[in-house]
Chain A
């Protein structure tokens, strides 16, 4: 939502960079692909329909002039039949136009969605961080819908309206150039006024939409913060705030819309003025025998036609400009280049689970001064269990994310199995280094389906074994459908601890050489947490295990514990060693056990 808000402000900028817009539109249009033929056929069909539509009034006029007025019944029948033929052609063209238009635009939308989705799949973690989740969702849904509707409008109207305008104009000039020139003047005048109006309206609207988005954002905020509002008894305060904001929106909308409502009367005024002028000039010409009555009638029919089309054009133009914001957001995703890529001759084999950090420095942004990791050196042998401890913001997660090359180091190198991670095929590397993320998600589907993310071909027995290792089997067995229990979107029907255990089981199914748990048992009670770790030690002894935790108990029995502080390694050693030499470790330990510790925490057996 935030992104959409800022984008409204960019309408100003967009106007300046006309060139950028052309590139952007080209980029978008490259996604039309297999619907190119439909995209060309649509306007062609529309042109045919317009031609029929222009001819029919002409025939109607002659039907009245030469048929009805003259009482010539056969002529009426003849023209009637001709009209029917034209109408049939028009019908066919119209239907085809509708069909091709629908296919072209919906296909275009489909391709855009697919292209964006596919590109997002190539995103690295750094790319994903750049766009917010909500931002990506909006781009894939609302923005694509906007563009595909605008595309349909353009295909069907953009050609149709000018052609229709030109046709009507040509017909008018064919009938009588002198009278028709009145139209030309009117059209030019009206076009000028309209373009000025569009400009002002656009400005107003981009302002009002920004505010409107803000208003909706504040509603959203209030919905989520409902408990806080109620707890502090601030309902009236919030209502007041909202009333002020909505009053403001009201004023802005009224201002913007008052501009728009000028359109219709202005248009009517022009039409009526034309009718008056043409009646006057036409009447004089008829009397001078320079014009017939029938011709005058036709001229007047074309009058509305011409001006309606002009109106339509202005509307299409407004819509195109308005959908530019969506276009921009879509192109941003399409243009995003993944910040990581496979090496040219990738390595497809990870020999063992050893990890080495060689003077690693890492920054999330190239430009930022303070590195997140600062000259980190660390050697982890295959099969070792390593605990990582440190306060919030000490870069624990960042450190482990470098192992499976979710980010690339800024300086130095990370080695897995003795080779630089940048030398591996990324998929191979990530299959061997299994990470249980801190912010983890399950997907809607059965438990088995979720587990098989780890290994597509895992048998049910293998899945059950993984769950047993992760201590997930106990609650799964208690569920009515056991392993076929359906997990709702976002895993809303399992508790936090259950979710974490399922995520661990899923990661285990990969049978990785290195297993990383990033604070993955925080919602699991201490006893279960201990059981999981015990199972790891006995069942997968050869897997390198790296465990990030807040609780000392989770890392205490690791082979070695790494204490991180502000992106630097503050100490490495066993529990006992660190207690002796490391201040931070001791402090955390004491905080968690001695006087005031962590509740669902193994407080260190000897200390209770």
Chain B
């Protein structure tokens, strides 16, 4: 019992879930985080917590009752009966049934408490997950640029897990232990003050040693964290590059390097665990020491009749001494996991405190129809869209037909204010035009398209959409009017059909199949085991890169947006297949303003305007023929005739 019974939970599955944790750098404001966590729990579960507190008090009292009963059992019932000729067991039976009632109450309390805590814990976890996810979905793209996916994931797995530990175990345990400590302390003081002082001094010694040991192991835990980080980083990198290791016959060296890191990890892990393991025995034996001291000193006091202290009192005191040390140890055990939970809580709240994507836009996209040559808003889908512009000054409403005219006027942009990526970009896309961006990697092609749908906000200049400043358009409406196929194809764990339907949630099966046909994806989809109902997993891991791009094109096609952005949408489709897709793409692009980023001429050549970008500036613009005639950068890139820089 005195052994450190607090089990390290062994968890199964999931990357990173078994992350070994040690003390972290000092938290800035632990009290604030704690009260925030409590607030989070109390917001929905105040009555539950109330019940739990009552139950804890109930079970502690039942326990104390049990301890007391043992003495009364012997002193008041058994001892008087000894020597009686015809002992009357009636009162004993009565007493036992009364205690049994208390015990039963205690069991009921323990059960109610545990059961209620399940709801509180799991409910809070669910709420936290939901809040995290909902909030995360509203964060600007910038957040995902500045935080690694691994770190964000770890909030959902590791940090949520520390919260579970804290809410379900540490908190009730702390409460339980505190109540026990207080009630036992009061009883002890009432029995004998000097002995209480000795007990407290011993507790102080225990805490002091524990602190020393924890400090020592904490130091090593930190070293272990670092070593573990190094080992994990090394493993990740080498597993990713395992084929390169093979090709370069680097196996031996790789093993040597790993061995060194692994050895370092062992060293720190061994030391950290060694000291952590010492805690239990040290505390247990110090508890025994405390017991012996009290027995000796108390014996001397009782026999010397100092202050009317009796032997019976000493016996009781010894029982209390034992039941005093245990909860203290439990509290110290829980402290570490609370510190860890607070660190986890901080990261959770950090995410929740991130400023969501701001949207001051008020111009909305609505369905419209023409009545007497005037645009009128309507509910049904007409295929005609209008921007509903409510003037803030007088509340009057204007409707502007959605046509897909996009204008960039002197746009400057940088991901950070210090480093501009785009300089003074001017662009004019008439409705239905096809605009292409070309240029080497890092020239700012993708960045421009990210500005049209306002993934990022510009530092200077203006972007107008059908004559409206994009900042005035509600982001959701702006993005709904733009179809986008990104360089990196992301599919979801769902059926093929659902993945395409992502573009338009109320699309019928016919519409989906039509879109798939348009993108030339119908053929391969039908060859999948369950056709359109085949479940894709792991970002479409069982499809080729090209097939995934075709699905992404179908997804954009079903959305049927007036403006299209194709960012290297066909880069992974080989030239021959692309020719087949091209028809579909042409159909898709006809009548829509389209922005195309591509390194293949086939997608670029027939554009109404080709913009050549270099280091964030538009250096050439014009049709294919014009640019060829100019014999500038485009010509150079196109013909491969290097003009030495």
* Interfacial residues of chain B within 363-415, with CB under 8 A of chain A in the complex: none
User: Which chain A positions have C-beta within 8 A of B318?
Assistant: 60, 64, 68
From B295, B440, B502, contact of A497 by CB (8 A):
B440
Binary contact track B572-602/A, C-beta < 8 Å → 1, others 0: 1111111100100000000000000011111
User: Which chain A positions have C-beta within 8 A of B233?
Assistant: 444, 489
From B232, B284, B302, B600, contact of A141 by CB (8 A):
B232
* Interfacial residues of chain A within 232-290, with CB under 8 A of chain B in the complex: 232-235, 237-239, 242-243, 246-247, 249-250, 253-254, 257-258, 261-262, 264-265, 268-269, 272, 275-276, 279-280, 283-284, 286-287
Q: Does B163 contact A (CB under 8 A)?
A: no
Known: A98-B278, A605-B639. A7 touches B13 (CB 8 A): yes
Smallest CB separation, A259 vs chain B (Å): 10
Are A312 and B262 in contact, CB atoms less than 8 angstroms apart?
Answer: no
User: Which chain B positions have C-beta within 8 A of A308?
Assistant: 1, 5
Are B576 and A437 in contact, CB atoms less than 8 angstroms apart?
Answer: no
From A246, A506, A527, contact of B642 by CB (8 A):
A527
User: Which chain A positions have C-beta within 8 A of B315?
Assistant: 64, 68-69
Are A523 and B441 in contact, CB atoms less than 8 angstroms apart?
Answer: yes
User: Which chain A positions have C-beta within 8 A of B247?
Assistant: 404, 406, 430, 434-435, 437
Binds B, one of A129-137, A179-187, A364-372, A459-467: A129-137
Are A90 and B285 in contact, CB atoms less than 8 angstroms apart?
Answer: yes
Q: Which residue of A lies closest to B149 (CB)?
A: A223
Binary contact track A402-443/B, C-beta < 8 Å → 1, others 0: 001010000000000000000000110011001101011101
Q: Does B282 contact A (CB under 8 A)?
A: yes
Are B237 and A261 in contact, CB atoms less than 8 angstroms apart?
Answer: no
Are A94 and B281 in contact, CB atoms less than 8 angstroms apart?
Answer: yes
From A145, A217, A315, contact of B20 by CB (8 A):
A145
Q: Does A514 contact B (CB under 8 A)?
A: no
| CA A526 to CA B231, docked complex, whole Å | 40
Are B7 and A391 in contact, CB atoms less than 8 angstroms apart?
Answer: no
User: Which chain B positions have C-beta within 8 A of A224?
Assistant: 149, 490, 539
Q: Does A88 contact B (CB under 8 A)?
A: yes
User: Which chain B positions have C-beta within 8 A of A284?
Assistant: 89
Are A431 and B249 in contact, CB atoms less than 8 angstroms apart?
Answer: yes
Binary contact track B411-426/A, C-beta < 8 Å → 1, others 0: 0000000000000000
How many pairs of A and B residues are in contact by the CB < 8 Å rule? Answer: 515
Binds B, one of A19-27, A147-155, A190-198, A350-358: A147-155
Q: Does B619 contact A (CB under 8 A)?
A: no
User: Which chain B positions have C-beta within 8 A of A592?
Assistant: 575, 600-602
Are A261 and B12 in contact, CB atoms less than 8 angstroms apart?
Answer: no
Are B266 and A107 in contact, CB atoms less than 8 angstroms apart?
Answer: yes
Smallest CB separation, B94 vs chain A (Å): 12
From A113, A231, A296, A531, contact of B74 by CB (8 A):
A296
Are A246 and B129 in contact, CB atoms less than 8 angstroms apart?
Answer: yes
Binary contact track B470-495/A, C-beta < 8 Å → 1, others 0: 00000110011010101000111100
Name the residue in A69, A121, A160 with the highest tally of chain B Cβ atoms < 10 Å from its Cβ: A121
Q: Does A520 contact B (CB under 8 A)?
A: no
Q: Does B201 contact A (CB under 8 A)?
A: no
| CA A426 to CA B258, docked complex, whole Å | 22
Q: Does B538 contact A (CB under 8 A)?
A: yes
Are A97 and B249 in contact, CB atoms less than 8 angstroms apart?
Answer: no
Q: How large is the interface on A (under 10, 10 to 19, 20 to 34, 35 or more residues)?
A: 35 or more
Q: Does B469 contact A (CB under 8 A)?
A: no
Q: Does A122 contact B (CB under 8 A)?
A: yes
| CA A490 to CA B238, docked complex, whole Å | 10
From A146, A293, A523, contact of B12 by CB (8 A):
A146
Are A319 and B79 in contact, CB atoms less than 8 angstroms apart?
Answer: no
From B82, B299, B453, contact of A68 by CB (8 A):
B299
| CA A454 to CA B17, docked complex, whole Å | 37
Are A107 and B270 in contact, CB atoms less than 8 angstroms apart?
Answer: yes
* Interfacial residues of chain A within 96-145, with CB under 8 A of chain B in the complex: 97-99, 101-103, 105-107, 109-110, 113-114, 117-118, 120-125, 128, 133-134, 136-138, 140-143, 145
| CA A546 to CA B466, docked complex, whole Å | 52
User: Which chain B positions have C-beta within 8 A of A8?
Assistant: 12-13
Q: Which residue of A lies closest to B247 (CB)?
A: A435
From A99, A153, A443, A528, contact of B237 by CB (8 A):
A443
Known: A497-B441, A587-B576. A71 touches B311 (CB 8 A): yes
Q: Does B186 contact A (CB under 8 A)?
A: no
Binary contact track A530-558/B, C-beta < 8 Å → 1, others 0: 11000000000000000000100100000
Are B122 and A243 in contact, CB atoms less than 8 angstroms apart?
Answer: no
Q: Which residue of B lies closest to A602 (CB)?
A: B640
Q: Which residue of B lies closest to A123 (CB)?
A: B242
Are A122 and B122 in contact, CB atoms less than 8 angstroms apart?
Answer: no
From B277, B482, B493, B640, contact of A221 by CB (8 A):
B493
Smallest CB separation, A337 vs chain B (Å): 16
Binds B, one of A73-81, A169-177, A378-386, A571-579: A73-81
Q: Does B30 contact A (CB under 8 A)?
A: no
Q: Does B40 contact A (CB under 8 A)?
A: no
Q: Does A43 contact B (CB under 8 A)?
A: no
Between-chain CB contacts (< 8 Å), 26 pairs: A2-B537, A8-B13, A71-B311, A73-B303, A79-B295, A90-B288, A94-B281, A110-B262, A121-B245, A128-B243, A137-B239, A222-B137, A223-B144, A224-B539, A226-B141, A239-B133, A239-B137, A300-B70, A392-B574, A404-B247, A430-B247, A431-B249, A591-B575, A596-B602, A603-B601, A605-B641
- Further 17 A-B residue pairs, CB within 8 A, beyond A94-B278, A269-B107, A608-B628: A123-B246, A128-B242, A222-B136, A233-B475, A233-B479, A242-B134, A246-B130, A250-B123, A253-B118, A261-B114, A279-B73, A283-B92, A435-B247, A497-B440, A529-B640, A597-B605, A599-B604
